[in-house]
Chains A and B, each alone.
Chain A
Amino acid sequence: MPKADLDNENPTILNVSQLPSRRQKTRSARNGPDSKYDHILFPKQPWPWGPSKTTSSWPSDDDEDEVEEDAYHDEYTEEPIDEQEIYDLISTISDPEHPHTLGQLSVVGLPDIYVTPAPTERLDPRSLRTVLVELTPTINHCSLATVIGLAVRARLEQALPPNYRVDVRMKDGSHAQDDQVNKQLADKERVAAALENDTLRGMLDKMLETCA
């Protein structure tokens, strides 16, 4: 996109030191750039599950379910992921038109991230947790809102365990076509198809390059 077409030529930019932080970042991207969306396009079952024998409501059928039996219970104990950690995952995404991150441009903010049930509540690790991220595009008709939303959803689906459901929305009143963008970002099929689109994927790759 040519520089002259910037939707917002003078966005407010926060210094890195002003961004919310726990100083020591606890989690960072675990995959190289080439594999950034692989698990979304082709999720490889990082936590292989099958109906587990430990669930009391299911009678065990030992001979049949061997394949699903896995070292899951040994390897995985849930460390709750809190809002700061979610923020750390997405604030470093680059804006598609400015040479700054979504955190610096205040497109994402710590108070606009909601984890339900709250991370402090300890649950059975298979229970669903919902992460809601409300985005504030730099101006209210930003044509790239969908792309930013897609990058946030892609980033979180890549980094979070499979029992997290990611909802990405435009903050109320922040974007002229809120409903349309929100509906698109909530549609699994459209998101999957978008990630197979080379042009879009090229943009996302570039935006996610800055994620540690």
Chain B
Amino acid sequence: MEAAAHITPLAALKPDLYQRAWASVPHPTLPLLATTHANQVTVFSLTTLSKHSVLAGGHTRSVRAVTWQPAQPATRLRLVTGSFDASAGLWTWDAESAGLEREVTTAGAGVEEDDDDKDWEFNLVLEGHEHEVKGVAFNPSGQYLATCSRDKSVWIWEDVGGAGGEDDEWETVAVLSEHDGDVKAVAWCPDVAGRSSKARYSADVLASASYDNTVRIWREDVDGEWICVAVLEGHDGTVWGLQWEPSTTKGDNKFPRLMTWSADATVRIWTLREEEDEEDQGEDVSGGSRLFRSGLGGIPNTMRRSMREEWECTAVLPRVHTRAVYSATWSADTGLVASAGSDGLIVVYAEDGDGDADVKMASPSPQPETAAAAIESSAENGAEERRGAWRVLGKVDNAHGPYEVNHITWCKRFDAGAERKGEEEMLVTTGDDGVIRPWQVRISS
């Protein structure tokens, strides 16, 4: 029997924002979720499912994007915001004055409205972009920040403050201007097993998605210059965003794949052709007839030949959306993908032949109704053969009533209703209606 996902709404986070909200980003470890709306950010506690704090007064126009700086001292929260006012803002919550533990766990209850923003300090404005900043992202170590803008450029900033991060000092290390249109989003490759297994260069890899319908991959060369090593062409519309494969569920030590989503209503998966593959397929290189071959158009001739990478579109997820896909999310735990967009749908997909998923899921889940069970049941054939085959496990119509859904993310549950706090995953959607809604996803086979 075919596996199915049962997606049921949980109570919306409180309060409703009653205005368009763009994105909700979970903290990498703590039970916090940062939501951008108007010219501010509301941070929700995932323990109480209510407002924890507000970051206001830093930006003159809408805050479009937000990200948590990873690898911070245990006593500190740090956020970077990207705004239509062309700047990125750096915010710090200092636990010494506020009591991070207490605030994180008890937030919302008994906190006076007026005090909501007193503990977030607006430390620094990163200026340089000419137009709206649309995306912000940290590399896994938290050393590099990438920002992207309607000015068609991607900037890489380095945190050069003291080791303890006492001084707020940032330097621009690169300005990448090869896209022909707005750069909508940036993403750094996570620090997973496959990332460095065959690294010939620096470990960090950046990807950018653009209004010019392409995705570009960027690496640092031996001289410390950031260069474009691949242009991924295939989407027939603005590429709204991208996410790297969050864990190497395949166990084959391959380089993480890249997922992209677009105004063309599709979600695509791209795979780096690694060296041993190139030898296998040597004859095919000049053929050029393969569908979805990534092009290298626009890469300057001065680029070192050795750094060029071949990326292929190895899957287009089943076409369910009828309008732009604004967001998609790939779970590190289950390998499941969920997408959402202008048509108000939530769609959950699974990859067939995900043979390693059962290993990952086996230990912490006492329930039979897990994604692993579902995936296992369909994984009878060789994984490699079936790689790239995705199917729809479930969907929800009108997830935010008649409104568009701007963002979707997998997120750990910490609330009282969770069966396994800090482990169990839920989806969180963010809509034009200002509602931030968690969803429970159960897989049955």
B-binding residues in A (CB < 8 A): 41-45, 47-52, 55, 57-59, 61, 64-65, 67-68, 125-126, 128, 161-163, 165, 183, 186-190, 192-193, 196
Contact = CB atoms under 8 A, between A and B. Distances in A.
Interface residues of B, number: 43
A162 B434 contact: no
Contacts of A165: 323, 342
B219 interface: no
A66 to B, nearest CB: 9
B432 A49 contact: no
B201 interface: no
B402 A187 contact: no
Nearest to B61: A196
Given A59-B8, A192-B62, A186 B84 contact: no
| Pairs of residues from A and B, 9 with the lowest C-beta to C-beta distance, nearest first | A49-B401, A163-B402, A64-B11, A42-B19, A162-B402, A51-B9, A126-B398, A193-B84, A193-B132
17 contacts: A41-B19, A45-B434, A49-B400, A50-B9, A51-B437, A57-B396, A67-B12, A67-B16, A68-B12, A68-B435, A126-B397, A126-B398, A126-B401, A126-B402, A165-B323, A187-B238, A193-B84
A193 B433 contact: no
A43 B433 contact: yes
Contacts of A126: 397-398, 401-402
B353 interface: no
A58 B9 contact: yes
Contacts of A186: 263
Contacts of B324: 188
Contacts of A45: 16, 18, 433-434
Residue among A47, A52, A59, A192 having the largest count of chain B Cβ atoms under 10 Å: A192
B209 to A, nearest CB: 12
A59 B400 CA distance: 16
Interface in B394-430: 396-404
Interface of B: 8-12, 14, 16, 18-20, 38, 61-62, 64, 84, 132, 134, 150, 182, 184, 211, 238, 263, 323-324, 326, 342-344, 396-404, 432-435, 437
A43 B19 contact: yes
B431 to A, nearest CB: 9
B439 to A, nearest CB: 9
Nearest to A162: B402
B87 to A, nearest CB: 14
Contacts of A183: 211, 238
Given A49-B402, A165-B323, A183-B238, A65 B433 contact: no
Nearest to A186: B263
Contacts of B64: 189
Contact of B20 (A42, A55, A65): A42
B5 to A, nearest CB: 13
